[in-house]
Amino acid sequence: MSHLQAGATLMVQGTTSDAGKSTLVTALCRWLQRQGVSVAPFKPQNMALNSAVTADGGEIGRAQAVQAQACGLPAHTDMNPVLLKPNSDTGSQVIIHGQAVGNMNAVAYHDYKRVAREAVLASHARLRANHQVVMVEGAGSPAEINLRANDIANMGFAEAVDCPVILIADIDKGGVFAHLVGTLELLSPSEQARLKGFVINRFRGDIALLKPGLDWLEQRTGKPVLGVLPYLMDFHLEAEDAIDRRQVSKADQVLKVVVPVLPRISNHTDFDPLRLHPQVELTFVGPGEAIPPADLIILPGSKSVRADLAFLRSGGWAAAIDRHLRYGGKLLGICGGLQMLGRRVEDPQGLEGPAGGSDGFGLLHIDTVLEPHKQLRNVSGRLCLEDAPISGYEIHAGVTAGAGLQRAAVRLDDGRSDGALSEDGQVMGTYLHGLFESSAACSALLRWAGLRDVQTVDYHALRERDIERLADLVENHLDTAALRALCGLDEEAR
C-alpha cells in the first residue's frame, strides 16, 4: 500500500462548465484507489438538479455519488456539503449537509454564503481526518469575476484550505489555449501560484500536431501541461446537469421512448440506462419541438411540478398524451411525473413557487400535497408488473394519496407500497428514481411498453467499466509522477 502525507487535498478546476472536471476527478479517484490509497471525493458547492440519496440519509449531486463509487465508498453528505437546486431563473432550494434549509434568491444566498462556508470547511476537515487524499471538484470556472466575492466553489475554497489546483479545458469546444491562458490571467497572484498545471481534455488526432501549442503554453505561462486526454468513444458517465441529446446507433428493432425536457427537469440521469440500451431509441423533446410518435412517453422528475405542468400543457403535451394513449401507447411518470398524472397537485405553502394548486392530467386517481419535509430514502422492493426485483431512491416533498394507490407499481421491502398502475394497465407512476438501473425491472418495464425479446443490460457493470477506462487514461496519458507529488505521495515508500 502506498504511503501518503495525511490529509492531502488536490483540486480540479475547469475553464468552463462541462470542461471535464467531474470526469477527471472520477478518474483520479479510481487511479488512487487502485493503488490502495484511501481517497474521497469532494465538491464544496454544486448547482444541479441531478441528485442522489446518501448512506447517511441526505442529498448530494449525482456526480459525487459516482466519484464515491470510484473510491469504493458509500456516498456521504460530506462529499457535497452545499447543493443548490434551481427552482426558478433567480432562486434555488439550498441544501446544507444533505438537508434542505429553504429557498433563496441569488442576493439572499450571497449573504448566506458565510454559513455555507462553515459547512464546507467542516465537511472538508472531516474528510481530511478520515482519508489520505481528498480529491476536490470545482464548479463552473474560477474566472467568473462576478462570483469571486465570498467564493466557496473554486479558488476561494482552495485559498482557504491551501491546496494545489489543476486546471482542465475541453479542446473539443475550440479555443483551448485562449481558455487556459485567459483563465490564468484573471486569477490573483496567489491563485496563479497555486495552479500547478494544465490538463487538456477530449483531444482527437495526432498528438504531434498539438505539440507546438503545448510547448508555447508552457513557455507562455510557466506552468506544465500534465497531459492530454483523448476523446473517448462509447463512453458514458452520469452528467452533473446537462442533458446529452446525441442519438446512438441502435439495433433494427427498437422501442421508441420520448421524454419532454421540462424547464426544471430533475434527475434526468434516470434515463441513462435507456440511452445505453441497444433496443431503445430515447428522444428528449425540447420546447417548441414536434412530439414524435412513441411506444412509451415518460414524464420525468421536476423541481417545480406545477410550473412544469403548465409548460407541458402550453406545449401541446396534453393532446399528444391523449392521442398516444388512444392508440395504445404506454405512459410512465417518475416522481414529479407521477404527481402530474394525478388529479391535483397542491402547494399550499408555496414551496416550489406561488402558493396554490393545479389540475393534473387526471389519469391516475391520486392527489398530491407538497409538504416542507422532503422524503429521502434508498429503497428496494419488487416491481408489481412481473414481480421483478427493483432498487432506487426517493427524493420528493409530495405526499400522495388516493384510491389509485391500491394498484401499486412497486411493493417495497420495508412494507410500504409505491406508485400506481391504472386499471387498463396503460399508465404507471412511481416515486422511484434510478428504476431503470435494476436490470430485471428495466427489462420488465420495456416488455410492458411493448418490446419483445428484451436484451438484459447490466448498467452498473457498464458504469464500472467506464470508471476503469478513466483510470487507464490517467495511467497512460497524464504525468503520474507529478500527480503523485501533488497528492502528497511518498515516492521513496513506493
User: pLDDT (tens digit, 9 = 90+) per residue, 380-391?
Assistant: 999 999 999 999
| Identity of the amino acid at 28 | L
Query: Domain for residue 432, yes or no?
Result: yes
**Cα–Cα distance for residue pair 329/216, rounded to 1 Å:** 58
Q: Do residues 449 and 472 share a domain?
A: no
Q: Do residues 112 and 185 share a domain?
A: yes
pTM confidence score: 0.90
Q: What is the pLDDT, as a whole number, of residue 247?
A: 57
* Catalytic choice (97, 268, 433, 477): 433
DSSP state of 280: E
Instruction: State the residue range of the domain holding 304.
Output: 255-454
Q: What is the pLDDT, as a whole number, of residue 235?
A: 81
* Residue 390: other Cβ atoms inside 10 A: 30
Query: Domain for residue 169, yes or no?
Result: yes
CATH no. for residue 426?
3.40.50.880
Q: What is the pLDDT, as a whole number, of residue 245?
A: 55
Q: Do residues 83 and 122 share a domain?
A: yes
Q: Do residues 77 and 157 share a domain?
A: yes
Q: Do residues 306 and 440 share a domain?
A: yes
Q: Judging by beta carbons within 10 Å of its beta carbon (0-12, 13-18, 19+), is residue 401 exposed, middle or buried?
A: exposed
> Among this protein's residues, is 335 annotated catalytic?
yes
**Cα–Cα distance for residue pair 306/359, rounded to 1 Å:** 9
Q: What is the pLDDT, as a whole number, of residue 248?
A: 54
Q: Do residues 397 and 296 share a domain?
A: yes
User: Which residues does the chain have with pLDDT short of 50?
Assistant: 1-5, 249, 492-494
> Among this protein's residues, is 433 annotated catalytic?
yes
Q: What is the pLDDT, as a whole number, of residue 87?
A: 83
Q: What is the pLDDT, as a whole number, of residue 2?
A: 41
**Cα–Cα distance for residue pair 393/270, rounded to 1 Å:** 11
Q: What is the pLDDT, as a whole number, of residue 159?
A: 97
* Catalytic choice (29, 71, 163, 335): 335
Q: What is the pLDDT, as a whole number, of residue 492?
A: 36
